[in-house]
Structure 1
Amino acid sequence: ETKKGSVVEQLFGRASRINSVHRQSIKDLAPNFRATAFDPRDHTIEAIEAVDGHRIMGLQWHPEYLVNEEEGNLE
C-alpha cells in the first residue's frame, strides 16, 4: 500500500502487487525521509522518499521483475 500523494503512488498506484524477496528491511528512518509504501501483511517499509525537497526515493522491492505482469506505468 502506498501513501496518498507520494511519488510511489504516482508511479505504481495506491495498491500494487510487490515481490518482497529481502531478508532485511528499514527499522529507523533518517529524519529527512518518510515511509511511503508498506507491505499490508507485516507493515514492512517497502519505499521511502525524501521530505526536504531532494528527489530521492528508495524501493525495497523489485518492480522490474513485474514489468510483464503489471498494467500501468511500468512498461
Structure 2
Amino acid sequence: MGVGIIICFGGSIDGTEVVAILLSGRTRFSIGQYVMLFNFFIFGSAIFVLGIKEAIYSLATYFVAYNIMDLTIKSY
C-alpha cells in the first residue's frame, strides 16, 4: 500500500516502477501489472539460483502486492 501512495504523489521506489509508470500512461495496462510482469521475469530467472519453491513464494507475494498497489492508486 505504501508503494501505491508513493506513486500517487509522484515518487517511485526503483527503476521498474519508473518504467511501469511511463508505459502505463501509453497503454491500457496498469502500473501494478507492469511491475508484476517485470518481477515475473526476475523471479523466473531466480528459479535457477534459489529454487522453484522460493521463486513461487516470491511471485505469490508480488501478486498480492501489485493488486494492493493498483487498488491504492485507483482509490487516490
Larger radius of gyration: 2
TM-score normalised by structure 2 residue count: 0.22
Tell me which protein shows more strand as a share of its residues: 1
State the TM-score, normalized to the length of structure 1: 0.22
Higher relative contact order (CA 8 A, sep 6+): 2
